[in-house]
Amino acid sequence: MSSASGRRILLGISGGIAAYKSAQLARLLKQGGHEVRVVMTQGAQAFIAPLTLQALSGEPVRTSLLDPEAEAGMGHIELARWAEIILVAPATADLMARLAQGHADDLLTTLCLASPAQKIMAPAMNQAMWAHPATARNAEQLREDGWQLLGPDSGEQACGDVGPGRMLEPESICAALFDATSTSTTPAVASSNSGLHIVITAGPTREPLDPVRYLSNHSSGKMGYALATAATELGARVTLISGPVSLTTPPGVQRVDVETAVQMAEAAEQLANGADVFIGCAAVADYRAETPAEHKLKKRADEDSLTLRLVKNPDIIAAIAGRARSPGRPYVVGFAAETRDLEDYARDKLTRKNLDMVVGNDVSLVGLGFGGDNNAALLLWRDMEGREGRQELPPQPKIELARAIIHHALSQHSINSH
Ligand code: PMT
């Protein structure tokens, strides 16, 4: 974690159960050497007392737009100008909707509208609320307006549901925030990962048998392209090495087209140099024809069968993960597409290919995996000390799953590299 200190941070807290974590967040921000002023919505005060935040921030907590006493101290426009960074954590679904609409009906929304500060939020809400199209629309609008969204995290929720919607842990929020403030000297930079280069492989490979036929698989590229989108949303520079798919390149992504596994291996070998994270989402053919025919293979009238001799393709991800730790080896995330014993096979790939993280997906489940718009995953990872982590991500749109995967990968990468 980088630790750029001395920034003026306005911590906005809205009314969700995660508000209790904001006390720890305020403490960590102060410890990071930042000046912190807290603004709470009315809802937030039902979850945590302003006095707690006052004690931790060392400043009076503001709760009301029309408070003559507070306005006499530092007027709200002055406060809006004072802030270099506005960090809203937790940001509830309601607050996101109001901010997306440009409301200014309480102190926090007014400050967000009036301030030129860099704006970052950590959404927190029930998983169904996060998955609702209205929230997705609001999140998209906020990103367009320059907000940076951190998370949400996925897992068990206070209400008992399981899924994406939990506020990121204060330590992860601080890590992302400190990265942002250390790479940015102006409020205009809206990314905590602007220094990161992420290389992603996506789609199938095609292994020619002759000039008109090939061996391939059902990968549509959707999962890999969703990862590329999610990584650019977080401000990373993304290079997408793509097998043949019929998808448009996500905005801001540099795309390199390949056909065969050997071509993908060559591109990956080169582009992974200096990259921070490498994600192998492509469904790479394990074998190719030893000698593709120069001309179209003809059906033989005298033979009922045809024998193809296949040879092994290079294992792209294992080669990159096998590099010496530093320099030159990125944080490596592989996928495991399985039809049975998902956890066992995924763990085996994590170990055998020397990966840092593996995303296991059961491609036998109807509507998930290859081709469709939804997927589910089991994340397994191992840190530098060999400690293992495990997280189940339930069925959800590939873009949401991609955001959760990228978030986990970047959190682990950041922990491992500090
Ligand atoms: O593209 P979609 O239609 O959206 O479908 C998404 C997906 C199901 C393809 C994706 O989620 C997925 O699981 N991708 C990995 C598919 C795969 O090839 O898995 P595997 O278990 O065979 O390979 C394990 C890992 O090794 C993968 O990271 C793969 O990219 C990598 N590999 C495999 C073979 C090889 N020669 N080189 C490799 O780098």
Amino acid found at 180: A
Question: Cβ distance 242 to 227 under 8 Å?
Answer: no
Cis peptide before 90 (omega within 30 of 0): yes
Ligand 1 site-directed mutation target among 199, 311, 317, most atoms within 8 Å of CB: 317
* Predicted pLDDT of residue 189: 27
Nearest residue (CA) to ligand 1, atom 35: 315
* Predicted pLDDT of residue 413: 80
* Predicted pLDDT of residue 125: 95
* Predicted pLDDT of residue 191: 43
What whole-number distance in Å separates Cα of residue 87 and Cα of residue 147? 10
Active-site residue list: 159
What whole-number distance in Å separates Cα of residue 333 and Cα of residue 328? 15
Strands 162-166 and 118-123, sheet pairing: unpaired
Atom of ligand 1 nearest to the CA of 363: 8
Domain residue ranges in the chain: 8-189, 192-296+305-416
What whole-number distance in Å separates Cα of residue 247 and Cα of residue 208? 22
Atom of ligand 1 nearest to the CA of 203: 1
User: Does domain 192-296+305-416 match CATH 3.40.50.10300?
Assistant: yes
Question: Cβ distance 93 to 16 under 8 Å?
Answer: no
Q: Given the structure tokens 């096998």, which residue do they identify?
A: 322
Strands 148-149 and 118-123, sheet pairing: parallel
Amino acid found at 354: N
* Predicted pLDDT of residue 67: 82
What whole-number distance in Å separates Cα of residue 70 and Cα of residue 39? 12
Domains 8-189 and 192-296+305-416 share a fold: yes
Cα–ligand 1 centroid distance for 284 (angstroms) = 6
**Helices 93-101, 133-144: crossing angle, 10 deg rounding:** 50
* Predicted pLDDT of residue 66: 82
* Predicted pLDDT of residue 184: 38
* Predicted pLDDT of residue 119: 92
Atom of ligand 1 nearest to the CA of 353: 26
**296: buried, middle or exposed (CB in 10 Å: 19+, 13-18, 0-12)?**
exposed
Cα–ligand 1 centroid distance for 410 (angstroms) = 20
Cα–ligand 1 centroid distance for 217 (angstroms) = 10
Nearest residue (CA) to ligand 1, atom 14: 281
Cα–ligand 1 centroid distance for 224 (angstroms) = 10
Ligand 1 site-directed mutation target among 335, 349, 362, 368, most atoms within 8 Å of CB: 335
Tokens of 341: 């014993």
Nearest residue (CA) to ligand 1, atom 5: 370
Show the CA angle centred on residue 349, arms to residues 266 and 168, nearest 5°. 95
Verdict on whether the full-model pTM lies above 0.75: no
Nearest residue (CA) to ligand 1, atom 21: 336
Nearest residue (CA) to ligand 1, atom 10: 281
Count other Cβ atoms within 10 Å, centred on residue 405.
28
Atom of ligand 1 nearest to the CA of 221: 1
* Per-residue pLDDT tens listing for the chain (418 residues): 334 457 899 999 999 999 999 999 999 899 878 899 999 999 999 999 999 999 999 999 999 988 887 787 778 888 999 999 999 999 999 999 999 999 999 999 999 999 988 999 999 999 999 999 999 999 989 988 889 888 888 778 888 888 789 998 888 888 777 655 544 333 222 345 657 999 999 999 999 999 999 999 999 999 999 999 999 988 889 999 999 999 999 888 899 999 999 999 999 999 999 999 999 999 999 999 999 999 999 999 999 999 999 999 999 999 999 998 767 799 999 999 999 999 999 999 999 999 999 999 999 999 999 999 999 999 999 988 888 889 899 899 999 999 989 988 988 887 666 5
**SS3 assignment for the chain:** CCCCCCCEEEEEECCCHHHHHHHHHHHHHHHCCCEEEEEECCCHHHCCCHHHHHHHHCCCCECCCCCHHHHHHCCHHHHHHHCCEEEEEEECHHHHHHHHHCCCCCHHHHHHHHCCCEEEEEECCCHHHHHCHHHHHHHHHHHHCCCEECCCEEEECCCCCEEEEECCCHHHHHHHHHHHHHHCCCCCCCCCCCCCEEEEEECECCEEEECCEEECCCCCCHHHHHHHHHHHHCCCEEEEEECCCCCCCCCCCEEEECCCHHHHHHHHHHHCCCCCEEEECCECCCEEECCCCCCCCCCCCCCCCCCCCEEECCCHHHHHHCCCCCCCCCEEEEEEEECCCHHHHHHHHHHHCCCCEEEEEECCCCCECCCCCEEEEEEEEECCCCCEEEEEEEEEEHHHHHHHHHHHHHHHHHHHCC
* Predicted pLDDT of residue 182: 47
Cα–ligand 1 centroid distance for 136 (angstroms) = 28
Residues in the ligand 1 pocket, defined by CB under 6 Å: 201, 203, 219-224, 261, 280-284, 286, 313, 315-317, 334-337, 349, 361, 363, 369-371
* Predicted pLDDT of residue 5: 56
What whole-number distance in Å separates Cα of residue 246 and Cα of residue 202? 12
User: Does domain 8-189 match CATH 1.10.1740.10?
Assistant: no
Ligand 1 site-directed mutation target among 271, 284, 379, most atoms within 8 Å of CB: 284
